[in-house]
Structure 1
Amino acid sequence: MSHKNLRIGLVDLDTSHPNSFMPVLKEMGYEVAAVFDGGVINPEGYAEKFAREFGIAHVCGSVEEMVDLVDVAFIHSCDWDLHVERARPFVEAGKAVFIDKPLAGNVRDLRQMTEWVRGGARITGGSSLRNCVEVREWKALGIPKEEWVFALVGCAVDEFNYGIHAYSMLHGLMGPGVRHARYLGTGGGQRQFELVWEDGRRGVVSVGKTAGYLPFYANVVTQKRVDYIKSDNTKLYRALLETILPYLAGEEPAPLAIEELVEVELAAIAAKLSYEQGGVSIALNEIPEDYAGYDGAAFAVSYKELKYPATKA
């Protein structure tokens, strides 16, 4: 199947991403064939209104109803603890799945996604910052790993739903191989975490709420140069979609191995555990499977209050 002929379904219209993706998908020539909204964030009738606005033919009452109408599902659930549940019917039907960031907030769900892909499922997702234009351009410089000195990457808003962008941007710049995460301290309301790669390279992420919005940024230091990188948000979604859609159509290999993809979330989960344990170094492969990690349902409650202030208890 040509990736241009993909029938795309949108699952849960919780965040700004479905609205932002739609114009880009249409401009790129893709058809969004169906939508489903579980009502975790939006009021009744929201999916119908969305479908009318964007000319989408089918509004589904369940993900199961959507399965036969689409070739690939884009899962945008604000409650990341629902991602595995939402993805399962599509995976079992052999349909491709994009899971929006954060992929999951615990080891168990990330392991399930990994097992699905190893079993032949086509799944990708995560933050658009990992392969943003600016990260690609910096990587294209071809700077050897042995010249690495240090990087600081950050953003604002919150530590995981938005903060995962900072972890992803650092991962994009440095590549896979994160082995440990460690809480360093708190400054200006943000928490700083050090990530250590298996080859000894180190980088720091600074995440959390600030008084104003901050761009996605990175300061990268090597033996011969210093670079300040700030992402252009207007280019993020197109760069992401151009990267993933040929894979989701089965035309190209995965842009990133699933083990590397989930490594970003594992780093953030290890960082949270390090904070809770007073700053001890946490190995990604030693996070307890029963560790709660980041609570998606609790985040969804706070997100709904921001999107619809009148619903606040």
Structure 2
Amino acid sequence: MHHPYNRRTFIQLTGAAGIGLALPHIAKPQPVGDVPPGRRVGIIGLDTSHSPAFTKLLNEPNAALDLGGYRVVAAYPKGSPDIESSVSRVPGYTEEVKKLGVEIVSSIADLLTKVDVVLLETNDGRPHLEQALPVLKAGKRLFIDKPVAGTLADAIAIFEAAKRYNVPVFSSSSLRYMTTAQEIGQGKVVGKVLGAEAYSPAHLEKTHPDLFWYGIHGVETLYTVMGTGCRQVVRAHTDKTDVVVGTWADGRVGTFRGMRGGKSDYGGTVYGETGIAKMGPYEGYRPLLVQIIRFFDTGTPPVSPEETLEIYAFMEAADESKRRSGVPVTLESVMVKARSVAKAR
């Protein structure tokens, strides 16, 4: 998601209330040669606020130990070719990361000669398959920011390629790592989750399935507490809101509400065996970055490919329900269709 860089947001992203916004006040980054072996990070795509935010956190000279000594050393800036909100950000974000000691390269091939692991940050999911393939072929662990791809078929193709090249891939919204959602999902707050409602902004981008672009945040929150096993969804929508009701195999019901009008936020309500709990507040990018670093260290994604693909099948089934005037649509039906498209490539 995109956040303007005011002081409040900067503090939220970094947890560093005492650090000013002016880049010249940041200490000069250590030379690239001082980066520990295996910890050189490359970024693909400088059209999202995630790129400078992650770079600030990793390249801060006094970065916390839970970030493992990883540093962003190189970036390939090109992101979306035609989404104006993305294209317009590239020049500014390129300058920001350059000031943090990052080398700007002209191709993904060049990037891969300089780094050990990769953050695929391109805001546009459509080029993700094309951008991910050379990273996987090079054997470098890969985090793919939301959305995984511009279609469910492409998302399947990415994970199939990861399996083929035996390279682990991880993708997640930062909303998964809200402390409250994590604790509820682990059974620490209300026991077994019997049902849940999650909400988030759900701005649309015409080049992507409706919920892929921004609704992913609330859907991922829903899955964090409900787990996998959704069988079918029904979607109701207006110009200002979406409501997607999913039925899980064990009879539980989980609901996502996406808001497109007025002020909206991130959170939800969870109904459990021992009580009712609220999810939130959103805690910024840092908790996700800690998980990414652990993934780079271990090679074990904290969210399985199967769960990530089910999340995207949930959103694709919601689109199909909309196209069919709100009838129930099974996740398996959209997966079968998408697998067929992916296999035909």
Alignment pair present for 1:19 and 2:19: no
Match of 2:76 among 29, 33, 36: 36
* 1:211 and 2:262 aligned: yes
- Contact 1:117 1:258 (C-alpha < 8 Å) held by counterparts: no
Structure 2 unaligned blocks of 5 or more: 1-34, 82-86, 204-210
Once the two structures are superposed, the pairs formed by residues 50-65 of structure 1 within 5 Å of their partners are 50-56=96-102, 58-65=103-110
1:221 aligns with 2:274: no
The answer to whether structure 1 residue 262 and structure 2 residue 309 are counterparts is yes
RMSD, matched Cα: 2.5
Task: Indicate if the aligned counterparts of 1:13 and 1:77 stay in contact, CA closer than 8 A.
Answer: yes
Give the conservation status (yes or no) of the 8 Å contact 1:60–1:66.
Answer: yes
1:268 and 1:94 map into 2 onto residues whose CA distance is 30
2: CA distance between counterparts of 1:131 and 1:178?
Answer: 21
Match of 2:248 among 189, 197, 209: 197
Is 2:184 aligned against 1:184? no
8 Å Cα contact 2:133/2:161 also seen in 1: no
Query: Deviation at 1:9?
Result: 0.7
Q: Tell me the TM-score normalised to structure 2 length.
A: 0.75
More deviation in 3-12 or 220-229? 3-12
Alignment-derived partner of residue 6 in structure 2: none
Shift in CA distance, 100/44, structure 1 to aligned 2, threshold 3 Å: closer
Kindly indicate whether residue 138 of structure 2 is the aligned counterpart of residue 138 of structure 1. no
In the alignment, structure 1 residue 94 sits paired with structure 2 residue 118: no
Q: Is the 8 Å Cα contact of residues 198 and 219 (structure 2) preserved in structure 1?
A: yes
The residue type paired with residue 338 of structure 2 is E
Q: Which residue of 1 aligns with 2:9?
A: none
* SS of residue in 2 equivalent to 1:9: strand
**3-state SS of paired residue (1:95):** coil
Aligned residue number for residue 245 of structure 1 = 293
State the alpha-carbon separation in 2 of the partners of residues 67 and 220 from structure 1: 43
Deviations 1:86-124 (A, max 9, x none): 111110111111110111232211111221232311111
Are the structure 2 counterparts of residues 238 and 48 from structure 1 closer, same or farther at C-alpha, using a change threshold of 3 Å? closer
Structure 1 residues 4, 93: CA separation in 2 closer, same or farther (over 3 Å shift)? closer
- CA shift, 1:45, in A, is 5.1
The aligned length equals 283
- Where relative contact order (Cα < 8 A, 6+ residues apart) is larger, the structure is 1
**For the structure 1 residues 64 and 191, does the alpha-carbon distance in structure 2 shift closer, same or farther, using more than 3 Å as the test?**
same
Q: 1:157 to 1:270 in 2, by over 3 A?
A: closer
Distance 2:113 2:312 in 1: 31
Shift of 1:233: 2.9
Amino acid at match of 1:281: P
CA contact (8 A) 1:195 1:204 kept: yes
Question: How do 1:130-169 and structure 2 match up within 5 A?
Answer: 130-142=176-188, 143-145=190-192, 148=194, 150-158=195-203, 159-169=211-221
Q: Aligned-pair distance for 1:31?
A: 1.0
Are the aligned partners of 1:106 and 1:291 in contact in 2 as well (CA < 8 Å)? no
Distance in 1 of aligned mates of 2:244 and 2:36: 39
SS at match of 2:300: coil
CA distance in structure 2 between the partners assigned to 1:44 and 1:243 by the alignment: 26
Secondary structure of residue in 1 paired with 2:274? coil
Q: Does 1:111 align with 2:156?
A: yes
**Partner-residue secondary structure (3-state), 1:155:** strand
- CA contact under 8 A between 2:199 and 2:258: conserved in structure 1? yes
| Residue among 338, 342, 345 paired with 1:289 | 338
Q: Return 5+ residue gaps in structure 1 as ranges.
A: 293-313
Given the alignment of the two structures, is residue 275 of structure 1 paired with residue 322 of structure 2, yes or no? yes
User: How big is the shift at 1:280?
Assistant: 1.4
Given the two structures, how large is their TM-score scaled by the length of structure 1? 0.82
* Aligned residue identity for 2:196: A
SS at match of 1:196: strand
CA distance in 2, matches of 1:229, 1:113: 31
- Of stretches 9-18 and 124-133 in structure 1, the one that deviates more from structure 2 is 124-133
| In 2, Cα distance between equivalents of 1:175 and 1:44 | 36
Flag the 1:42–1:88 CA change in 2: closer, same or farther, 3 A: farther
Compared CA separation, residues 183 and 157, structure 1 to 2 (3 A)? closer
